[in-house]
Structure 1
């Protein structure tokens, strides 16, 4: 019997560790494009899940953006059925007309489809094939865009998406390992042309920036970037917990926030409180930017009688009688924000 290839063993171990913390009921679903990362993940899950007494299926999404995408999706589904995965679904999505650039629109459509399938099958979790290299790229993009700690934390191992746990078992596995695992298992990954298209910032990071960093600083730079994400994420967890307590302490019975309480908070905590409150008001997380949060903070720390801060969705936040109050797009905010100085 031939020895198990180390990359195959490493990926199976990563999947086994991820599945071990899930409830026993319900299947897990692997999101698989047919690329090396998700294909190696799907193969490992097909091996590990039944040996753990767990059902595992696969979902592949056809974005319809490339010639032959439907045939590619069907080929992934046929392979999954042969590998013993069930249920297996192909989902076609329409990317046109969605907000954001093509990458963001495709991502939103994909995750919406994945969570709908997961909900229909009562899935315990969705598994995606993001690797350590993807994490390093995410951190570099966040740095380039001037992101704060939330962006520098990169992708979490687990997040809830529309009520479905999304797990990333391979964040400590590199892309070379997933390719080696596919080769050892006799699998031929699909090469997504978008991954090498210089029109996309992530593709330029992958093709030019990361190789340059590795040549200049050594191969450990990828691990270092991924470790930075883990360390920042751990700090964020503590700060977010403090912000939950601070938000509770700042609430006013009328639903607003007490300016005096906000002003006494450390800036890092106050920013998180204002972000969380904006989310409660209905501002979409993806649309809420640093500019919006700065405008809210100015109402607390640099009040000069100015008018409201505008948030995504037509929301307005104004200051009156020592409180931050909100108004929807069809609600008048009155004259208090202009006339009251506290």
Structure 2
């Protein structure tokens, strides 16, 4: 029996991602599945035991077999929900039945940074995925985020921040220290991954914090923001505008990412022209603790859309996080300069406009 349309779409999307990353040409010219060489590249899937990641695990095991690649799975147990070890064990067993090897399960300790449980769990998860991938010489980790996840991420960005960056969502490819995290299912919906699991008789686990099992009208405000968006806000917007908001938001993210990439390329070139760091900066502006210097006079001639990104790039180069309000205040040193005081980023870092020629100086005390 041939594959369904949903399965074909998932296979095509996964194969496209792996080919884009240069992981083709490892299979013989014969069609069908192949036993990969022991030294063939290893692709690993981050599997939670949910429908999306189990569907991707199944699809990736088939695609890698077609392409002559090794395919493994990583199951991260956050230990935040009772019975999480049982869920991890079932996911590992299922992936093993798919023929994936290696299948690695790891329990992680989720810290408390004040950013929220969801953010802390995500940080711990990516740290573990990265270390496991590096340990096994795996260059690509596949993530099972779907079009629905992308729409939810965009909506979270709209609610939490401002500007173009709020619309970006998740990139399809993200290089983290030499390990590429790729998302092949961003053009597939959660309904499609559900259908793949049903067709292949794959049993999945539904995370109760997703809120999908909540009774109508009984949605708890204690659920994570993403879950409230998924269960309450997006269905309401679909009804309100009589349109598919998942499709609308996910397509918006594609266009926003294209514009963002162009602006970033232009801003990076300009930053490299105007930014001086380290010893050279201290030589140019003799002040103890100086870590970065920008030519403010030249930068204030640029369009605000560009100058603000240069400021962000400058702070990023110095590994200094800043809020949008702080960045706007630094921008005022360029566009509305009238001798105002410095902008404090934190208790140790200050940005000010000083000297002749006019310079934008970052000082850490």
Task: Give the alignment's TM-score, normalised by structure 2.
Answer: 0.85
1:62 corresponds to which of 60, 73, 77: 77
Shift of residue 219 of structure 1? 4.7
Query: Cα deviation per residue 1:7-65 (whole Å; 9 max; x = unaligned)?
Result: 22211111111111223463111111011111111110011102101111111111110
**Contact preservation (8 Å) 1:307, 1:318:** yes
* Cα pair distance change 1:91/1:326, threshold 3 Å: same
SS state of the match for residue 20, structure 1?
helix
Distance 2:304 2:173 in 1: 27
Could you report, residue by residue, the CA deviation over 1:279-337 in whole angstroms, capped at 9, with x for unpaired residues?
111124xxx32122112212222334344323368432222111112222xx3xxxxxx
2:249 to 216, 225, 236: 225
Q: Map residues 137-286 of structure 1 onto 2, 5 A cutoff.
A: 137-196=152-211, 198-199=221-222, 200-252=224-276, 253-254=280-281, 255-284=292-321
- Does 2:20 align with 1:17? no
2:30 alignment counterpart: none
Q: Is the 8 A contact 1:283 1:312 kept in 2?
A: no
- SS of residue paired to 1:256: strand
CA contact (8 A) 2:326 2:343 kept: yes
Mapped partners of 1:313, 1:187: distance in 2: 53
Which structure 1 segments of 5+ residues have no match? 332-342
- Aligned alpha-carbon RMSD (Å): 1.7
1:191 is paired with a residue whose SS is coil
Aligned-pair distance for 1:83? 1.2
Q: Is the 8 A contact 2:275 2:314 kept in 1?
A: no
Q: Does the 8 Å contact 1:8/1:184 carry over to 2?
A: no
In the alignment, structure 1 residue 326 sits paired with structure 2 residue 325: no
Matched with 1:51 is 66
Work out the CA distance in 2 between the residues paired with 1:183 and 1:219.
27
Instruction: Give a deviation string over 1:198-218, Cα, whole Å, max 9, x none.
Output: 421111110111112222334
The answer for unaligned runs of 5 or more in structure 2 is 24-39, 212-219, 282-291
